[in-house]
Structure 1
């Protein structure tokens, strides 16, 4: 390998912009002797650094891979470091997202986290020491290749194809969790969305405007079918927002259905909980010292699940939605049966 290539690897591994770790020529030579070639001289390293920095002279500073400090009216360069376009903290976020997601089994998560680590250097390894065999178990125990399913879905959306798959739900048999087959589905994929650590696919059936949500990790034997002929139903005919942020906010827990308007009263002390779930969709109607009334749009089932989850701090004002009342009554009766003697 060339000296330039080895110098670049040393800077990538041992320097850090965020941690303010820079390397002088003598430091680079020391690492060269340790990791590559004991015969390399200071002069050779200086020349390699000059060639590398000269090749980036016409690039904007933020795009330059190698950065440095200058002295003597910018005639002398020193204190070199690797200027990664993604910071180590951002890489850490990616690694944490992988390890704590619901779509990778332990082996796949560790493999991907390790590959992300190689994109930076020692500083990233220091702040993500758990991205190794000692991490433990992820929350996803199945062997479905969710990323492969996502790629097939992306291809099908791009090329106007149907997708066909076995739909499953989690079940238990002999004390082990497994995927219980529910039937074969052939659908038109519309959007792929990540929410709460899982990928969901919004789909519809041919000649139908109703949108359904399927968890990608529960799809097996997925394949792309033939290119579909138009049934005259476009995105504008679906009557639901397909932008990721808007859809997720309008459909708590990814519960599908038509959007309805609700007035929610929440204890002011716990207003943050509502912000977490509905974000910018909130329309504040009334404030008191102890409560806040807001208007949100949500699906009926999504709102029912949300109210059950936050029953101690939130309620619906002037609820005239019979379907929502039915869902809440069913939930309340179920809970009551569990606590009765």
Structure 2
């Protein structure tokens, strides 16, 4: 057998192990031969299969000093008088079935990835394990409702990451919905509005991805839903570097408009330290704990009282930076740094169980909101509007 034929046979053995074996489904040499016959219409003797397995194992040992090994083959060797045989042979996949299932569940219940892209990603993940794992997925094909319709989400993420890496500003268009549920690009002065920001981080909260960024001349962060962003473009006025590819005529026109009409001459990303009160770097975990609904107002120290059984939800929402102390037999007193607007809606969400104690202005806002709700729902002369009203 030629070297080329031996290499092909060795690759077939490796492919069979990848697709048909795992720790719970181990193969004999004869079973490997059967799969090769069925998958490739090639006959291989079991003795030759053992030789190819030995070559594959020997080849893998040559990669031991590298940070990543391409594969790992496990087996049991049984001694015989004529020749030893291998059994219980399987390929140890880099990622376990439980880890794959967790990743796939994350895709299934994400709302920012369109259905077609989500399905394609799951197909790719399935190939990281054996066919036996793929059989387990037949009963979890249901996708969640209200998924994003943005099929360019990965292109958007790529442009954002490029802008951050290159320390450049980012331009994009943004969607808004009308009562007809149809998304439309935000307009200004009769044309599509051009958003130009300094991007810092991509963050996820409540199953949604957000771009955290700033606008020139404003001392606060802004948040934009990634699945509402369209036509993302790195703002770079200089000469294109090798490998970056040419800009389209439309992209060139947009950059000219941003520079000449909007007057944004500097394409460099705004340093975070220029934003008052932030410091040199953005502490993303702390920032996310303080902006639970992604409102952009300043954080404040808030104290509230709640039943002790809400300790878990409090930690889920505010993180372990929340200061929690006992306040009576069954109550807790919690101190958190949080956006006041976000805290207003959080307190309304847990209204029957939570009482905000300070600051007074937030407590007053909650009281006014509750009063407004009372007027809507508790008026004695309430009239239920008909469908035509």
Give the shorter-chain TM-score range: 0.7 to 0.9
1:131 Cα offset (Å): 5.9
1:252 and 2:256 matched = no
Paired position in structure 1 for 2:111: 102
Paired position in structure 2 for 1:267: 307
| Contact kept? 1:169, 1:179, Cα under 8 Å | yes
Paired position in structure 1 for 2:333: 293
| Contact kept? 2:220, 2:296, Cα under 8 Å | no
Paired position in structure 2 for 1:320: 359
| Contact kept? 1:210, 1:238, Cα under 8 Å | no
Task: Please give the alpha-carbon distance, in whole angstroms, between the structure 1 residues aligned to 2:21 and 2:376.
Answer: 59
| Match for residue 25 of structure 2 among 15, 21, 26 | 21
Q: 1:129 to 1:330 in 2, by over 3 A?
A: farther
| Match for residue 181 of structure 1 among 177, 186, 202 | 186
Task: Please give the alpha-carbon distance, in whole angstroms, between the structure 1 residues aligned to 2:368 and 2:225.
Answer: 25
Task: Please give the alpha-carbon distance, in whole angstroms, between the structure 2 residues aligned to 1:217 and 1:196.
Answer: 14
Paired position in structure 1 for 2:57: 53
1:184 Cα offset (Å): 2.7
Structure 1 length-normalised TM: 0.87
Paired position in structure 2 for 1:9: 15
1:259 Cα offset (Å): 2.0
Task: Please give the alpha-carbon distance, in whole angstroms, between the structure 1 residues aligned to 2:213 and 2:307.
Answer: 37
Q: Please, which moves more after superposition, 157-166 or 279-288?
A: 279-288
Number of positions where the alignment pairs a residue of Structure 1 with one of Structure 2: 332
| Match for residue 168 of structure 1 among 160, 169, 175 | 175
1:219 Cα offset (Å): 1.1
| Contact kept? 2:110, 2:144, Cα under 8 Å | no
Task: Please give the alpha-carbon distance, in whole angstroms, between the structure 1 residues aligned to 2:319 and 2:268.
Answer: 38
| Contact kept? 2:219, 2:276, Cα under 8 Å | yes
Task: Please give the alpha-carbon distance, in whole angstroms, between the structure 1 residues aligned to 2:223 and 2:365.
Answer: 19
Task: Please give the alpha-carbon distance, in whole angstroms, between the structure 1 residues aligned to 2:271 and 2:202.
Answer: 22
| Contact kept? 2:219, 2:275, Cα under 8 Å | no
Structure 1: give runs of 5+ residues left out of the alignment.
none
Task: Please give the alpha-carbon distance, in whole angstroms, between the structure 2 residues aligned to 1:268 and 1:159.
Answer: 48
1:335 Cα offset (Å): 2.5
Q: Please, which moves more after superposition, 8-17 or 215-224?
A: 8-17
Paired position in structure 2 for 1:85: 94
| Contact kept? 1:187, 1:204, Cα under 8 Å | yes
1:332 Cα offset (Å): 2.1
| Match for residue 234 of structure 1 among 260, 266, 273 | 273
Task: Please give the alpha-carbon distance, in whole angstroms, between the structure 1 residues aligned to 2:204 and 2:13.
Answer: 39
Structure 2: give runs of 5+ residues left out of the alignment.
1-6, 188-192, 238-266, 383-389
Task: Please give the alpha-carbon distance, in whole angstroms, between the structure 1 residues aligned to 2:270 and 2:19.
Answer: 55
Paired position in structure 2 for 1:336: 374
Paired position in structure 2 for 1:216: 226
1:334 Cα offset (Å): 4.2
Larger-Rg structure:
2
| SS of equivalent to 1:293 | strand
| SS of equivalent to 2:320 | helix
| Contact kept? 2:305, 2:334, Cα under 8 Å | yes
Task: Please give the alpha-carbon distance, in whole angstroms, between the structure 2 residues aligned to 1:299 and 1:223.
Answer: 31
Residues 9-40 of structure 1: CA distance to partner in whole angstroms, max 9, x if unpaired?
A: 222222223xx221121221121111113411
Paired position in structure 1 for 2:343: 303
Paired position in structure 1 for 2:257: none
| Contact kept? 2:50, 2:86, Cα under 8 Å | no
1:192 Cα offset (Å): 1.0
Alignment of 1:67-78 (within 5 A): 67-71=74-78, 77-78=86-87
Task: Please give the alpha-carbon distance, in whole angstroms, between the structure 1 residues aligned to 2:305 and 2:78.
Answer: 63
Paired position in structure 2 for 1:129: 138
User: Aligned Cα RMSD in Å?
Assistant: 2.7
